[in-house]
């Protein structure tokens, strides 16, 4: 059995108490209005226990965690604290999806490095990070830097391949044409 000794765990669930009744919601909304925070007003008496991921967060995690599997297919232990965080926001996420006629999917995004991340997908567009775990969790600026480095490395390889294709075209158009016909040259994106 795999053990989860010495793991660092980070969850992204709001732990503050939400207003429980209409009077508390009204008081909460009044405080928000007085502070000029109209965009945070509670309209349906439910406070989101989890914030949606920004486009940048989604992009960074997609680069660093290219394997994105439904939680039902994930074959490794998930820390109890991450499961508890999911349980705390599950009802909210299901209601959120039902209002938009979207499907809720929980995925584990992984790669060899960084460690796993639990993501809730509400339909196609909305994504929420529930938690992540591993031996050493890096802060977001470090993850962004690593995503840039990985993207540049991949781009360098693609640019070099494109240069070789252009060189072949310039030096031997017949060989270039035969490469296309034979299926050896198929990705010509310039």
* Domain chopping of the chain, boundaries: 8-137, 150-181
Rounded average pLDDT over 158-167: 84
68 phi/psi in degrees, rounded to 5: -125, 100
Q: Which residue has the higher pLDDT, 7 or 44?
A: 7
169 vs 128: CA distance, rounded Å: 46
pLDDT tens per residue across span 163-180: 888 888 889 888 888 888
Q: Is the pTM of this model over 0.75?
A: no
Burial class from Cβ neighbours inside 10 Å (0-12, 13-18, 19+) for residue 16 reads exposed
pLDDT in tens, 10-47: 888 775 555 556 777 788 888 888 888 877 777 665 66
């Amino acid at each position: 059995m795999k053990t989860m000794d010495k793991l660092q765990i980070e969850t992204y669930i709001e732990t503050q108490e939400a207003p429980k009744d209409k009077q508390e919601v009204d008081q909460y909304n009044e405080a928000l209005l007085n502070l000029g925070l109209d965009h945070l007003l509670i309209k349906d008496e439910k406070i989101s226990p989890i914030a949606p991921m920004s486009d940048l967060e989604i992009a960074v995690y997609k680069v660093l965690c290219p394997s994105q599997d439904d939680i039902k297919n994930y074959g490794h232990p998930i820390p109890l604290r991450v499961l508890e965080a999911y349980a705390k926001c599950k009802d909210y996420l299901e209601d959120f999806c039902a209002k938009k006629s979207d499907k809720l999917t929980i995925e584990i995004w992984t790669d060899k490095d960084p460690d796993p991340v639990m993501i809730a997908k509400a339909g196609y567009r909305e994504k929420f990070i529930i938690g992540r775990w591993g031996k050493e969790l890096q802060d977001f600026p470090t993850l962004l830097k690593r995503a840039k480095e990985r993207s540049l490395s991949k781009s360098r390889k693609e640019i070099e391949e494109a240069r070789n294709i252009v060189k072949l075209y310039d030096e031997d158009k017949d060989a270039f044409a035969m490469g296309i016909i034979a299926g050896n040259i198929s990705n010509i994106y310039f």
